[in-house]
Amino acid sequence: MTTDLYPTPAVTDLIGIMQYAQTVTNGIFSPVVLVLIFIVSFLSLKRFETKTALPASLFITSLCALFFYLMGLAQDAILYASILGLGLALLVNYLTRE
């Protein structure tokens, strides 16, 4: 007799796939995806100055973290950290403007 390590997936949509990936990876899926979203958006916005690209990429990451939180994929701390990072980047951008 074999036992399943993980529950049999009942995946019917994209959210189901993401929830199953979150289960299989023991909660590592959403933070890794958010870090990748930040890196890709920061590098794609790098044609602008860093002080403009950083808040913009953190804004995109914060929106994605909010969507993940609403889907039940991200914990509170991840959402709060992304919003705090966005606030700090906007504050530094405001204080260093010319």
Residue 13: predicted pLDDT:
82
Rounded CA Rg of the chain: 17
Residue 47: predicted pLDDT:
87
Nearest to 34 by CA among 58, 76, 59, 65: 65
CA 24 – CA 91 distance, rounded (Å):
38
Handedness of CA 20, 21, 27, 29 (dihedral sign): negative
Residue 57: predicted pLDDT:
94
Burial of 86 (0-12, 13-18, 19+ CB in 10 A): buried
Q: Which residues of the chain have pLDDT under 70?
A: 1-9
Residue 5: predicted pLDDT:
67
Residue 96: predicted pLDDT:
87
Q: What is the pTM of this model?
A: 0.82
Q: What ranges do the domains of the chain cover?
A: 27-95
Residue 52: predicted pLDDT:
85
pLDDT digits (tens, 9 = 90+) for 1-26: 566 666 666 778 887 888 888 888 88
CA 33 – CA 36 distance, rounded (Å):
5
